[in-house]
Amino acid sequence: MYKYDHFDQSIVDARVAEFRDQVNRRIAGEITEDQFKPLRLMNGLYLQLHAYMLRVAIPYGTLDSRQMRMLAHIARKYDRDYGHFTTRQNIQYNWIKLEECADLLEELATVEMHAIQTSGNCIRNISSDQYAGAAADEVADPRPWAELLRQWSTFHPEFSYLPRKFKIAVIASPEDRAAMRLHDIGLELVRQNGELGARVFVGGGMGRTPMIAPEINPFVKADDLLSYIEACLRVYNRYGRRDNIYKARIKILVHEIGEDEYRRQVAEEFAHVKTLGIDPPLAELERISAFFAPPAFDAADVEPDRSDPDFAVWLDQNVKPHKQAGYAIVNISLKPIGGIPGDATSAQIDMMADLAEQYGFDELRVTHAQNIVLPHVAKRDLHAVWQALREADLAHANLDLISDIIACPGLDYCSLANARSIPVAQKIATRFADMDRQRDLGELKLKISGCINACGHHHAGHIGILGVDRKGVENYQLTFGGSGAEDVSIGKIIGPGFDEDGVVDAVEKATEVYKTLREGDERFIDTYRRVGLEPFKEAIYG
C-alpha cells in the first residue's frame, strides 16, 4: 500500500480547509449556488434526488483495513449506515449534509483519503485490476504505475479544466478485469524483449456514444510513459470540443480526426514533452514501487477441505488462483439475491476490514463490478473466511453469474436517471435465485444503467439493460453482446423496450435460448456471437 508523504498529506489537508471555508461562505450567503457548485463538485459533492451525495476516491480500488473502517465510520456518523461501491472502484454516500461535509473530509484525510477529482472535467480516479499483485498472469504490478498516474494527475494545473471528464485504467494482464478499453486512456503493461512498457489505447468510453479505444501505440517504453500520456492529454485539451458537452469526450476527437491523425499529433507533442523532463527519475519509481512489495507469503500449499457443499460452491465460484502457492484471491460479492448491488452496511464494511486484517495482509480492493476482493488469503484460512462472510451475509457464491449484476443507483437516487435500475436488478436476481440454475448458465455479465450516461456499464454487458423515460413511464431497452473484458465489444439493442416485469421475462427467455443453442463450454456471449441475434429475438418478440 502506498503511504502519503508530507506533500500528499499537506495538499489534502489544505484542500479540506479550503473547502470548509467555501462551505461556510455558501451557508453565510457570501457565494451563490452557481458559484459554489463547481467548487463542491471538485470535492466530490453532488446534489442528488434526496440529498447531497459524496463520492470518495479509492485510488485504483486499493485500501487497507484502517481506511475501510473509516468508510464504515463515515457511513455510521455522517450517512445512514451504509455506502455504495461504484463502477469506478469508489464509494458513494447518499445522505450527506453540507454543513457536516468538511468534518467528514477532515476525518477522511486522517487515513489518507479524500474526494478530490471524483467529479468535474478533470482526470478522475485511476482504475486498475483488482487482482493486481496477486494475479498469476500479470507481467508487472500495475499499482505503482496507477499510483504514479494518481500523483501526476492530482491537481495537474493543465488538466483541471479539460473539455470533459477523463478516465484512465491501468492493467498488466492479458485478461482485462478493468474494462480497460472502455476508458479515455487504457494502458496495458507489457514486456517487449524483456523491457517493460505499455500498449496505449485512447478514446474508449461508454455513455451515449460508446466506443472501444483504438490502439494508439503498441509499445511505449516505461521510461516514456508519463510523457506520452501527457502528450495524449495535451492534444485532447487543445482540440477537444468545448462547444457541445455530448461531443466533448476524447473518443469523439479521436473518432473525428481519425486515429492516424491523432497518433501523429500525439507523436509530435510527445517529441516536445520529452524535452521537458517530466518522467520521474528511477529513484522515484523505485520509491513508489517499494510500497507495493509483495507481503511475506509463508503459508504452506494446502488444499481446503471441500466436504461442506456450500463452501465448495463458494470456492469454485468466488475464489481465484493466486500467483503464490498456498494463497488464493477471495471475491466478496456485494450482490445478495434481492439486494442492492454494491451496497454494504457499516457493519459489513467493518467486518471486511477485520477479515483483511486477520487473514489478508491488511489489503482490500474494490472492483468495477461493485464487489470487494481480499487479494491475498492463505488457502488454509479460506474456510474461516467463508464462515465469517456467511455470518455477515457476504458469502454469496455468484461471482460473474447472472445475479452478480452491475447496477447504477438509477432513479432511486440519481438526478440524471430516467428509470430505476435497482428494482430491475433485484427482480432478475430473484428470478434466478436458484444457484444451480445460475451456475448452469455460467458466466453471464448483466449490467443495468438508469440512463444513457451508462454508469451501470450496460454497453459492456453480455446482457445490458438501459432504462429510458417513455412519456414519464420507465421503459427498458435490452442490449446483447457487450463485453468489458479482453474480448471487448459494445452491445446492440435487440428491439423495442419493455416494462419492468417484461424485461425480466425477456432476460429469462434469452437464457432459455442460450441453453438450447449452446455448444460445449460456450458462455452466453459466445453462443450469441456464434448464432447472432435472430434466435433470441424470435423467442423474445415472437
Partner 1 sequence: MKLLTGNELRSGAVTWWTGNGWSLHVEDAVDVGEHGEAVLHAEEGARRVNAPYIIDAVATPQGPRPAHIKDRVRALGPTVRPDLTLKPADPAAGDWII
Task: By CB under 8 A, name the binding residues for partner 1.
Answer: 26-27, 29, 33, 47, 49-52, 80, 95-99, 340, 411-413, 415, 417, 420, 422-423, 426, 469, 472-474
The residue to which cell 496507477 is assigned: 146
CB of 126 to partner 1, least distance (A): 29
The residue to which cell 508523504 is assigned: 5
Q: Which is nearer to partner 1, 212 or 407 (CB)?
A: 407
Q: Which is nearer to partner 1, 339 or 360 (CB)?
A: 339
CB of 278 to partner 1, least distance (A): 40
Q: Which is nearer to partner 1, 78 or 166 (CB)?
A: 78
Phi, psi (rounded to 5 degrees) for 492: -115, 140
CB of 442 to partner 1, least distance (A): 28
Calpha distance 299→297 (Å, rounded): 6
**Which residues, in sequence order, are bridge partners of residue 56?**
91
Bridge-based pairing of strands 363-366 and 62-64 is antiparallel
Q: Which is nearer to partner 1, 216 or 424 (CB)?
A: 424
**What is the chain's Cα-based Rg?**
23
CB of 22 to partner 1, least distance (A): 14
Number of other CB atoms surrounding residue 399 within 10 Å: 22
Q: 511: Cβ–Cβ under 8 A, 6 or more apart, which residues?
A: 402, 432, 441, 444, 524
CB of 23 to partner 1, least distance (A): 10
Q: Which is nearer to partner 1, 120 or 186 (CB)?
A: 120
CB of 102 to partner 1, least distance (A): 12
Calpha distance 465→456 (Å, rounded): 9
Nearest to 505 by CA among 425, 404, 431: 431
The answer to whether 373 and 356 are in contact (CB under 8 A) is no
CB of 35 to partner 1, least distance (A): 13
CB of 34 to partner 1, least distance (A): 10
Q: Which is nearer to partner 1, 23 or 355 (CB)?
A: 23
**Amino acid letter for position 61:** G
CB-based burial of residue 230 (10 Å sphere; 0-12 exposed, 13-18 middle, 19+ buried)? buried
Q: Which is nearer to partner 1, 121 or 418 (CB)?
A: 418
Q: Which is nearer to partner 1, 46 or 292 (CB)?
A: 46
Q: What angle do CA 538, 483, 506 make, to 5 degrees?
A: 30
Rounded (10°) CA dihedral 331, 336, 342, 347: -90
CB of 409 to partner 1, least distance (A): 8
Q: Which is nearer to partner 1, 45 or 454 (CB)?
A: 45
Give the HSE-up count for residue 432: Cα atoms under 13 Å, Cβ half-sphere.
30
Phi, psi (rounded to 5 degrees) for 530: -75, -45
